[in-house]
A and B are shown apart, each in its own frame.
Chain A
């Protein structure tokens, strides 16, 4: 369904990101996760597949045609482009008309991710998480046969998180071809049936369900530095969390390591809320090489 050959792309606006040369194929009715951070080029690659970013060289064919917006392709980037002047219901109705699909009430479509109350909200009044959820609802409930979704489990309405993986799986089972990007290896495991790992713009590893992969350890693990006056309270909250491979504390500083940077950041944010502790510094550091 999707064939990328010798693809090279470079973002036109800061931060500068490059990806490629990369070649891969995605079969019809399959689900692929492009695993890596935005700085690894996965979101740029997704934009090239969607036709909203230009490749410097190489080709992309989707269902035998060059990449580009089309009625049977649904693209939900991390920052969705929505008509802010419309209500969510008006947007979904207009999207159906443009895609040439029969009308379905907005509340029914939004119910797929449990966010029906958003139907009458003006899009300009939505926060990022709600906007992203609306864009995902449009993609998931459309009849598009190719779905390109950036970080579908990150920064979405909390009501939608538990339903997203199931909704996506249902679309794949119904024959849709799905490509998602994610920086979280846990999310990648939940969303994909095949995985392409990217590092600094290069495709470093491929894996399929028949060739399962385990969370990497060692050099690819993440190391997070935290400074907080309430470090000892954070330590108590973080210690039982299996997200972290190690936790070291000294005074107001904590250094934690793990394999999933997104899960680690979320866990620290949750611990900070639960312990009611303010964090002064939170930064990822270069992981130490295995000795």
Chain B
């Protein structure tokens, strides 16, 4: 908990973080409200397109930026490492805070979008909202870990930004490269096109694997780099 205090304070005291969450959440909720106002028969499905393709990646991008204080993963932990804190534990705490915050925000937002935009031909509202809460939370955590890999290799915003672009380019297709991106798997789980014909459970497992492997890679890289 000692090493998590700094990233937690960055999150809670960052006006940019709250504006980011509020902005992208408002976009997703507005699109859900629009579907509801038009009484769309598949309102939730349509609203989730905006949620998955725009709101989730950019919301998590903003949360990771706030958690790191807009720096690279190594530099974000240097105030603690210079006091003698183990670099690996500092990086681990930072990555976990980013993943948990992203999971909470994306899960709650996904459930809210489904509950608001629910149409008559969508699956039952409660079950759909609960499923989206789980998928959104897992995707949020995977995205956060994925972005911290970029932040562990490149200082400033470049690392995170390059992985955001990569996710956009590879994840929009249904080819093999899409399997490496959280975007394609989240889209598959929410009823969109499957990457490389992956089944839903395979995308679920892939998101979990991306989250664990990316977090491990980011922490190992930060532990080896001089603050």
* Count of chain B residues with a beta carbon within 8 Å of a chain A beta carbon: 18
Q: Does B27 contact A (CB under 8 A)?
A: no
For the complex, would chain A's binding face be called helix, strand, loop or mixed by DSSP majority? loop
- CB-based contact B84/A94 at 8 Å: no
* Contacting residues of chain A (80-95) with chain B, CB-CB under 8 angstroms: 81-86, 90-91, 94-95
Interface string of A41-53 (1 = CB under 8 A from B): 0000000001111
Residues of B within 8 A of A51 (CB): 226
Q: Does B69 contact A (CB under 8 A)?
A: yes
- CB-based contact A71/B83 at 8 Å: yes
- CB-based contact B84/A70 at 8 Å: yes
Q: Does A75 contact B (CB under 8 A)?
A: yes
Within 8 Å by CB of A81, from B13, B14, B82, B226, lies: B82
- CB-based contact A69/B84 at 8 Å: yes
Residues of A within 8 A of B227 (CB): 52, 69, 81
* A72, B78: Cα distance in complex, Å: 16
Q: Does A220 contact B (CB under 8 A)?
A: no
Q: Does A172 contact B (CB under 8 A)?
A: no
Of the candidates A73, A95, A138, the one having the most CB atoms from chain B within 10 angstroms of its own CB is A95
Interface string of B172-204 (1 = CB under 8 A from A): 000000000000000000000000000000000
- CB-based contact B9/A86 at 8 Å: yes
* A50, B227: Cα distance in complex, Å: 11
Which residues of B does A touch, CB under 8 Å?
2, 5-6, 9-10, 13-14, 69, 78-85, 226-227
Nearest CB on A from B199, distance (A) = 43
Interface string of A89-126 (1 = CB under 8 A from B): 01100110111000000000000000000000000000
* Count of chain A residues with a beta carbon within 8 Å of a chain B beta carbon: 25
- CB-based contact A99/B10 at 8 Å: no
- CB-based contact A69/B2 at 8 Å: no
Which residues of A does B touch, CB under 8 Å?
50-54, 69-73, 75, 81-86, 90-91, 94-95, 97-99, 138
- CB-based contact A81/B78 at 8 Å: yes
The 6 closest A-B pairs by CB, nearest first: A71-B84, A83-B79, A98-B83, A98-B85, A70-B84, A85-B9
- CB-based contact A85/B2 at 8 Å: no
- CB-based contact A54/B226 at 8 Å: yes
**CB-CB under 8 A for A94 and B6, given A52-B226, A52-B227:** yes
Nearest CB on A from B90, distance (A) = 9
Of the candidates A70, A85, A99, the one having the most CB atoms from chain B within 10 angstroms of its own CB is A85
Nearest CB on B from A31, distance (A) = 22
Nearest CB on B from A53, distance (A) = 8
- CB-based contact B14/A85 at 8 Å: yes
21 contacts between A and B (CB under 8 A): A52-B82, A52-B227, A69-B83, A69-B84, A69-B85, A71-B84, A72-B84, A81-B82, A83-B9, A83-B79, A83-B80, A85-B6, A85-B9, A86-B9, A91-B79, A94-B2, A94-B5, A94-B6, A98-B80, A99-B83, A138-B83
Of the candidates A52, A53, A90, A94, the one having the most CB atoms from chain B within 10 angstroms of its own CB is A94
* A98, B93: Cα distance in complex, Å: 14
Chain B, residue nearest A97 (CB):
B2
Residues of A within 8 A of B9 (CB): 83, 85-86, 90
* A136, B14: Cα distance in complex, Å: 27
Nearest CB on B from A85, distance (A) = 5
Chain B, residue nearest A142 (CB):
B83
Residues of A within 8 A of B226 (CB): 51-54
